[in-house]
A and B are shown apart, each in its own frame.
Chain A
Amino acid sequence: MLESLPCRRMQNRQDLITLWLMRWLAAMIVLLLILLVILLCKLALPAISKFGLGFILSDTWNPITEEFGAFPFIIGTLITSFMALLMAAPLSVSVALFICEICPKQLGRLLGTFVEMIAAVPSIVFGLWGIFSLAPWVQNVVTPFLKNTLGFLPFFQGPSYGIGVLTASLILSIMITPTICTFCREVFNTIPSQTKEAALALGATRFEMIKIAILKPSYSGMIAGIVLGLGRALGETMAVAMVIGNTSRLSLSIFAPGSTMASVIANEYAEASNAIHLASLGYIALLLLAITLIINSFARFIIWKWTPKI
């Protein structure tokens, strides 16, 4: 049976035109990606030649004295993304398990649609809700709780203004849950029911069946889903820009305001006055692009390597 149309030995002229047109368009899209990278490099060139690789580790960001370094933003991006993953990954996996294995099929489908709806909510709405609803809650409920229980650690000290790294991570964790959850559901659905039935027939409880027959074989698939979620979190802009507080000062406390690579671009790009400021923001965008491309390629690599074996 044909999966797709045979493309060898085509003689019809119309077909050849179609194929070559499509090939040409495809080549244009590939070139567009290359062009994107080249143009971004060109935009960042003044900053690259002035600051070099030291840009990544320098923590001064001063548009007036024209000294720029991306360290606070890289750290901010990494911290918010990993905190978001820490919260979202276990939740997403267990929701996916709940949908696939525990609740009735109809209800599961409804719940799945609900989860995907989260992904459809525009990030600006998340941001607005974050400022007016989540931030006060973080300030008045979460912060005192964390201070009372874990306050001896340096990460949980200092004043909270509601707006800060913790709030941004919470918003991010909500936003990446659908990405991970939907992907994990697809992975869990590929497991044949015979495998599950075999585990149950051997006397395993539901929990043991899930552990042996579902979680173990789909381990790499789950990792791929989590990495895709990480890619989404790294690039998220508006919601984070609205609730993180936007300061280039580094702080150990998760209650303090911070900044991420995407948020600093969103805040300063349209108002950047001098060329080197613009170039530095371009440099940050280039770094962000590099990180997300690597993360996403890594996820695709895991998928490509493991999917046939499941």
Chain B
Amino acid sequence: MIWRKTKNYFFITILTLSGIAVLIPLILIIIYVIKMGFSSLNWQFITHLPRPVGESGGGMAHAIVGTLFLVGLGGIFSIPLGIMLGTYLSEFKKDKMAKFLRHTIDLFSGIPSIVIGIFAYILVVIPFKHFSALSGGVALGIIILPIVTRTTEEILKLIPGTTREAGLALGLNRTKIIWHILIKGSRAGIFTGIILATSRAAGETAPLLFTAFGNSYFSFQLMQPMASLPAQIYTYAISPFADWQRQAWAGSFVLIIIVLGLNLSARFFMRQKS
């Protein structure tokens, strides 16, 4: 009996320790980013363009704007599409096409982002013969799509069947039930899914390396290369210049604020509603 009890305590201690251990990397990363990033962050960083090598100062204003632009571009098509597909999966789940779609969405969410980058490269960069913001948007859109689809499906599944029956009993057709009751009724949850998906896309680097590529100036043209925060951080991080590395940290700080801020607020929003 003593042996069994000892084994029990030993096991519980290990589990508790692992619960503490899993927090260590996250805390270390956040502390390190805040320590390195906050000291190099200043107003100039958010409002100015990069300076040439050797001159200190300058910022990543164009990259911050570029990231927002690219994520918006990716989301503008794939968010409505994702909501529709999610609705289809949830409301017509017995339909034959829905089964194919569910597997496809599962597979899409498992595709490495770098492969999606190559796909966008083939689709957009090769035909137009140069890197463009559009191709970056396409890549991010493909990343956003499965996340929005899955969260919409999960949210709509939570609605009890009686709500649908009530709609049918009122003589509404299915389209009206879907739009007026199901989607409008769960817009908070769907919105959460959208925020989670965009925050994920905002942090992606790999698919932008050879699609949106990068740019040292402001650009709002679809067919021209565009800077993005993660790609800019990457360029600066692997450079040998101390000042650029310092800026990479400042960029990471801004990026992590954007991404974790969006993510946490989405969760908070969700919990408030439910």
A residues with a Cβ closer than 8 A to B are 1-5, 7, 10, 12, 14-15, 17-19, 21-23, 25-27, 29-30, 33, 36, 39-40, 42-43, 91-92, 94-95, 97-99, 101-103, 111, 113-115, 117-118, 120-129, 131-133, 174, 177, 181, 205-208, 210, 228, 231, 234-238, 242, 262, 265-266, 269-270, 281-282, 285, 288-289, 292-293, 295-297, 300
User: Which listed residue, A177, A206, A282, A300, touches B8 by the CB 8 Å rule?
Assistant: A206
A94 to chain B minimum Cβ distance, whole angstroms, is: 4
With contact pairs A114-B23, A121-B259, A288-B112 given, residues A23 and B204 touching in the complex (Cβ less than 8 Å): no
User: Which listed residue, A22, A242, A265, touches B237 by the CB 8 Å rule?
Assistant: A242
B26 to chain A minimum Cβ distance, whole angstroms, is: 5
Expressed in whole angstroms, the Cα–Cα distance for A120 and B203 within the complex equals 8
User: Which listed residue, A17, A30, A120, A295, touches B100 by the CB 8 Å rule?
Assistant: A30
User: Which listed residue, A1, A39, A208, A228, touches B161 by the CB 8 Å rule?
Assistant: A1
Interface of A is mostly: helix
Q: List 25 A-B contacts (CB under 8 A).
A: A4-B161, A4-B164, A5-B92, A15-B175, A19-B92, A23-B97, A29-B105, A36-B115, A39-B122, A94-B18, A95-B18, A98-B18, A101-B15, A103-B19, A120-B200, A121-B260, A122-B204, A122-B255, A123-B203, A124-B230, A124-B237, A238-B206, A242-B234, A270-B213, A292-B115
Q: Cβ of A174 and Cβ of B15 under 8 Å apart?
A: no
Residues of B within 8 A of A207 (CB): 4, 7-8, 11-12
User: Which listed residue, A4, A43, A102, touches B15 by the CB 8 Å rule?
Assistant: A102
B88 within 8 Å of A (CB atoms): yes
Across the interface, name the chain A residue whose C-beta is closest to B119: A36
| CB 8 Å contact bits of B208-251 with A (1 = contact, 0 = none) | 01100100000000000000001001100110000001001100
Q: Cβ of B256 and Cβ of A125 under 8 Å apart?
A: yes
Residues of A within 8 A of B12 (CB): 102, 206-207
A45 to chain B minimum Cβ distance, whole angstroms, is: 12
User: Which listed residue, A97, A98, A285, A296, touches B115 by the CB 8 Å rule?
Assistant: A285
Residue of A210, A231, A266 with highest tally of chain B CB at under 10 A: A266
Expressed in whole angstroms, the Cα–Cα distance for A17 and B179 within the complex equals 14
Expressed in whole angstroms, the Cα–Cα distance for A237 and B164 within the complex equals 44
A102 to chain B minimum Cβ distance, whole angstroms, is: 6
Q: Cβ of A29 and Cβ of B110 under 8 Å apart?
A: no
Residues of A within 8 A of B237 (CB): 124, 127-128, 131, 242
Across the interface, name the chain B residue whose C-beta is closest to A33: B104
User: Which listed residue, B91, B101, B162, touches A26 by the CB 8 Å rule?
Assistant: B101
Q: Cβ of B118 and Cβ of A14 under 8 Å apart?
A: no
Q: Cβ of B14 and Cβ of A94 under 8 Å apart?
A: yes
Other A-B pairs, 8, CB within 8 Å; known A94-B14, A97-B15, A207-B7 = A5-B91, A22-B92, A98-B16, A101-B15, A120-B203, A121-B29, A122-B259, A132-B36
Q: Cβ of A22 and Cβ of B210 under 8 Å apart?
A: no
Expressed in whole angstroms, the Cα–Cα distance for A199 and B264 within the complex equals 38
Across the interface, name the chain A residue whose C-beta is closest to B199: A120
Expressed in whole angstroms, the Cα–Cα distance for A7 and B92 within the complex equals 6
User: Which listed residue, A12, A30, A113, A237, touches B206 by the CB 8 Å rule?
Assistant: A237
